[in-house]
Structure formats: C-alpha cells, structure tokens
Structure 1
C-alpha cells in the first residue's frame, strides 16, 4: 500500500490509538490528529512526490485525547479523558484550559456561523463554549444518556448516545430537542456524520451496519430511510462482522466514506444505494476519517481500536495516518449507469 501512487503516509511519532483526524474547514492541507498517547498534532499535508508533509505543532495533554476540531486557521480544540476542554493556539503551540465536564469529553464540533464550540461527554451533558467570552462555558444541556458522537450541519445538531438514543436539536433553541429518536440499528452506535446538504445523517454500529436517516419527520421522507450491511467478510464459511468506526461525507458530492475494524475504507452513494469503491486493505483497523474542505483528499487513521481487548495489542501495528488523493470514485453515479 505504501507504493500506492494515490496514498501518502504521514510522518508520525504516535505510539497509541488515534481517536480522531479532522481537516481544517478552510485550509485543504491542515490536519489535526488526536491520540490516546495524550497528544494532538497539527499537520501540514504535502503531496506525494512534491512538498513533504510535516508536523507543524504538537500539544501535550495530561490524559488521552478523545476528540479534536478546528475553529479557524490559527486555533483548534481538544477534549480529554481527564474531562477538560482546551483551546489550542497553533501560532504559539500553547494550550488554554476553557473548562471541564464531570466525565470524559467524548466528542466535539465547532459552528463557524455562530463561533460556538459544542462538546459532548459521558457525563450526559452537552456544553456550549465561546472562547472569546470572559467565561468560556456559555451553557450546559442535560441528555438522557452518555454521549458518544455528535455532528452539526447548518443549525441542526445530531447527538448519538448510549442505549441507541438520538437527540436532534436546533442550536438556536436548545431548551428541548426538536426530535428524539431510537437508532434504526439494533446494536451500539459507533459513528455518525451529517449530510452536507442538510437533509439528514448516516450512523453506523459495532455490528457492521450503516443507516441513512432524514431529518424531515413526514412519512414520505421517513420512507426513504434504510439500513444496510457492510464491513463483513466470509472466511472459511464463517461470517466475520466488524464495527464501523467512522463515517465522513464528501463536502461537494454528498457521497460518504465508511471505515471499519476490517481495515477497509469504502465510498458509498447513498442516493442509489451503491458502493462506489473499496480501497486496498490497510494493515490494521481504521479508527477515524476526514475529507478535506475541497474534497480532494481523505485522511485515514489506521490504529488499534480495542475490539479484541488487551490480547489484540500483541499483534497490533503501530498507528499510521494515510492520506488518499481522490478521483472520480467519490462522484455520485447517475441513475441507469
């Protein structure tokens, strides 16, 4: 795979599982990587055969970092197992503690429109932060269960929780969820991503399935939702099923990528219910994905995801970040083709 002309392997000193890779919303070559090794690293991603990729900044934390995201070209955020939420200053390579939850910070997203950071935690709360204010934490909202994932499109926030629960909010009116749903999938939610066109979201479970959901509660819209099996393989007549660890939508085409503990990444056209491409298998589970802002690259985090407990560590490969240069495989297919 290292010989693949479309794939660049980033230089890496990571020695524990990668929790999240996130591209900048404005710079197609800036990438943040958070890890269980207690670091967040900022990369400038180069081209194969061209400018070399390099680490532009490294931020050391006191505990495993479970989530990260950008705010703008010079700042980002991190959420930790030690409950803290921090702002990262890329220019000075310094950390500022914004505040904390009462349990691990599992997920986060930033609204560029309102310049608000939203964090979710295992403490069953959502926190809203404005780093410019004298008191950074602006609001806290209780949820019925531990928060695993969240994602935002326009003003619609989707929150995936334990017990297969989902809350959908309008972030301008957080006093009550706009909708409360139960997952279409029978097993624990592992990943979530909103469609860039604002129509809905995709979610996936630990049991090799993806569901495509729509926000519009009307019966006509809800009839369009569906779920399908993926990241499965039959080996010696035995069906092997792997968790779907990550989902990411292409910013232009509204197709999406999925990644699993089977070490594969696939591209899907959810409108025609087809897989467009499966990339060559990686040398370990894929834990996180991120398209860059212009849709020309896909960052792929390859690292152990603890599906096999401590025993799996003995054979686990060193964590790796691959960047795939994208072609026509991410474009949706026309009906009839």
Structure 2
C-alpha cells in the first residue's frame, strides 16, 4: 500500500493585534516558539514556527499584528517597521491563515483580509477563542456575516489556548501547500536562535508583569549567551540580558522596590528558558536607558528589529 504524499510549505499567520496568533502557532508547533501576553505588540518580530505532522510540514510565519489607522497615526518607527514585517510575510508563502476573535470583526480584520486577497493567496479563516464566546448560538450568524462577499478556502472555529479544533485546521492548511519533502528536520521547531528566544522570554515577562505601566517602552538585548558543561545538568547556559527603557522613571518601575520586580522578571524568564532549552540557565539582567529608541530606525536595527 502506497503512503500518502507529503506536503510541505509556508503559511503566513496574519491578523490584527491580540487575536491569539502566537498562541495558535505555539499550539500547532507543540512548543513555545512565540511569546504571548494579553497586550498588543507582544509579537514584534517575524518568526518561523515549524510544525511537523504525519501528512507533512507547515512553516508558520508568525507576524506582528497589522495595525490600521491608529498605528499609522502614531508615527512610531517601531509601528512602521512591524507593519512592514507583517506585510512582508506574504512574500514567498503558499497560503495564509487569517486569525480573528470569535464574535468580533472590525476594520483591521478587513484590512488584513484585503492584504491577503490582494496578494493572491488562498486564505483559511481561523475563528479563535470560541471557548470565550458566551452565546454559542451567535457563532453561525457571525460566520455568515464574515464570509459574505469574502472567499475563504476554509473556515475553522477553534480555541488555540485549549488546543481544540486544530486537526481540521491542519488538514486544510496541508491541502493548500505543495507536495514535497519537509524543509526542516522533525525535531526543528523554529528558525530563530536560542539567543533570540532567550531575549524574547525576558521581554515576555516585561509585557506580562509591567504591561499596564510600561506597555511598549521596553526591549531586550542579549549581550552574552555562552554554553558550558554542567556536572549536574550536562550543559548550562550563562546569559546576560539588558532591558532597555526610554526614561529614568521607567528604569525605576522595571527594577521595583528593592529590586523585587526585576528579580521576579528574571526568575520567571529563567524558568521558561530552562523548560524550552532543556538545560540549566544562569541569567543576569540589567536595566539601562536609551532615549527615543522606539522611534529611531537605526536604533531598532541595532537592537535586532528587522522588517
């Protein structure tokens, strides 16, 4: 009996900020490759999550949320760069996955769909967070409203957080990518380095623990990432991370009273690194001030941001 042909291809994961794109990518990959929080702008970089299944492999391009007029009006270099990164993700992919929040379709969702349609890509609609929809009878009318006048290759209600509804989604996406051998090994989960992921895990804790106070004024630069043998764990990573803020007052907020907040950020980030890397981690963090970094494209590139 002949085995079914393998499919392998790239899928851009697109949507407005904070609809669960990164949570969905992590669920499909089966590991944490994209950081998550309930704050917009958590995802600032284009990242490849590699999801391998019996029927083939999906290279999922996780992107910053597409910002609409509000993002354009802000004029921030970071917003412009993230928009370019999100739209640039459409180049060279085989299909697109548009992620929306169950029960909500607004102007930015429409912008995202229009960008995909104009790129000529087949689009699968993922209606995420259906577990949070209080009135489940509203789902079918919502689907009818969203799909009216818009052509989708498939529509899948799901919950990325609870990992429900994922198998039919995977089948639809694999059917849209070409036949071919996997582009990456079965044990590979991302194209990003451990050094990059370490910086992102520190930034995740900043977003989670300081989101209300410092929503977007922080970034992280890993100055040292060294591997050394460990008698107990086999290998240990020594990591030095600098948390950049834009003003002295923000530095005090990150550090917290007696350094408590910075220690909490470092402890939680280290635990996440050890879980992801499967190794012991010795993490040191510092907070430094660099005025105006988020509105300076040269500074953003120096800090590892690309479009």
Same fold (TM over 0.5): no
- Answer 1 or 2: which has greater strand percent: 1
TM-score of the two chains, using structure 2 as the length reference: 0.28
Where relative contact order (Cα < 8 A, 6+ residues apart) is larger, the structure is 2
TM-score of the two chains, using structure 1 as the length reference: 0.27
